[in-house]
Amino acid sequence: MKHQIFKSTDTNVSKFVFEKESTDTDKAIAVEAVLYRYNSYRERTVICCSTQCGCPVGCTFCGTGKFFIRNLTATEIVEQVDTVLKYIDCPTEEIRKFQIMFMSMGEPFLNYKAMEEAIIILSGKYPNAQLLVSTSGPLGQIFWNFDKFITLSIQHKQVGIQFSVHESNDESRARLIPTSTTSLQSIGYLGEKWAESTGRKPFFNYCVHSGNSSQQNITELLDNFNPNIWECTLSVICEKDNSMKNEIEKQIDLIQDFANRMTNAGYSIRVFNPAGQDDIGGGCGQLWYFQQWLNQQKRKQ
Ligand code: SF4
């Protein structure tokens, strides 16, 4: 695939856009991957790669979720990672904390077979990389494939899982993720099953805003996510038509206060700060280049 690089003013973040022409059998695609450096690539390198072109899930805050082109092949997923890694300044085996995340564009469990194949290839090529799958838990596919995913996670100890939870009850979550996803209770069950089978902790991701950060929300989270089993990542909602920078600044106090109360409730918390992405659109739903490309495809239809 041909690629272009979009550098953020924050030199620690670069976005890669990959494009491929249509063939007799496959539709044209554009997908994006993001490369993060924390202090140095040697200290910590994080890559987010795409598993689908567009996404059928349709999360309301996501600019890529309004249109779906096609699933990526395992080769196309791996190619994003291999290409991005050509731009770092140290051998991959010397990276101290190395994370490859399946979370840029697409729902990995809707393209399970290719994602599994890509994980097997990447775990062989980059044995020191953690391979983190981020899922909304699409109804049906998550259950049909979860036993296979557990087996994969047992065989490849670098594999981790994060569920995009974002709200503390199913009603609010359904407004954010309009297509069918499994219930929070079922996500809680799947995570516990995965933890029991692998001996590792699953993550849930929660986008904090003024409407979901009360004590009642924490009580609801505790009903389904046992803090002895789950790790929690807090982040900001990345409104597709908002400057992420403004959004972070507005919400930083809110997130900090919520993080303190979640810690008091027993959770181990990390706060994801998508710094530097606001000028390139690096976050999920902020993929500006892809949104322009998508609009061109829509006009062609
Ligand atoms: S946030 Fe992720 S799962 Fe939701 S529509 Fe966007 S790419 Fe798909």
The per-type count for the chain, helices as H runs and strands as E runs, is 8, 12
- The rounded Å distance from CA 62 to ligand 1 centre is 6
- Tell me the percentage of the chain whose pLDDT exceeds 90: 68
Supply the pLDDT for residue 241: 47
Q: What is the pLDDT of residue 179?
A: 86
- Least confidently predicted of 6-20, 37-51, 101-115, 223-237: 6-20
Bridge partner residues of 163 (DSSP)? 135, 204
Ligand 1 centroid, distance to 59 Cα (angstroms): 6
Q: What is the pLDDT of residue 2?
A: 95
Residue 272 has pLDDT above 50, yes or no: yes
Q: Which of 152-166, 201-215, 235-249 has the least mean pLDDT?
A: 235-249
- Strands, E, within the chain: which ranges? 2-7, 13-20, 29-38, 40-49, 52-54, 68-71, 97-102, 129-135, 159-164, 203-208, 231-236, 268-271
Residues 54-68: what's their mean pLDDT? 84
Q: Is 207 in the pocket of ligand 1 (CB under 6 A)?
A: no
Query: pLDDT value at position 301?
Result: 65
Indicate the top mutation candidate among 52, 53, 55, 182 to test ligand 1's pocket, ranked by most ligand atoms within 8 A of CB: 55
Q: Is 54 in the pocket of ligand 1 (CB under 6 A)?
A: no
Distance CA 133, CA 107 (A): 9
Closest-CA residue, ligand 1 atom 5, reads: 65
What is the model's pTM?
Answer: 0.91
- 103 C-beta closer than 6 A to ligand 1: no
Spatial separation of the C-alpha atoms in residues 188 and 164, rounded to whole Å = 12
What would the pLDDT profile of 286-298 be if each residue is shown by its tens digit?
566 777 787 777 7
CA of 164 to the centre of ligand 1 (A): 9
CB 65 less than 6 A from any atom of ligand 1: yes
Residue type, 299: R
Residue nearest to atom 4 of ligand 1 (CA): 59
Query: Is the CB–ligand 1 distance for residue 108 below 6 Å?
Result: no
Domains and CATH numbers, the chain: 2-295 (3.20.20.70)
Sequence-ordered list of residues with C-beta below 8 angstroms from that of 107, at least 6 positions apart, any chain: 51, 52, 55, 56, 57, 135, 136, 138
- With a 6 A CB cut-off, is 106 part of the ligand 1 pocket? yes
The crossing angle, in degrees rounded to 10, of helices 184-198 and 141-155 is 20
**pLDDT one-digit tens code per residue, 19-28:** 999 898 888 9
Find out whether the beta carbon of 285 lies less than 6 Å from any atom of ligand 1.
yes
Average pLDDT over residues 211-216: 95
What separation in Å is there between the alpha carbon of 253 and the centre of ligand 1? 26
Distance of CA 131 to the CA centre of its chain: 11
Atom of ligand 1 nearest to the CA of 63: 6
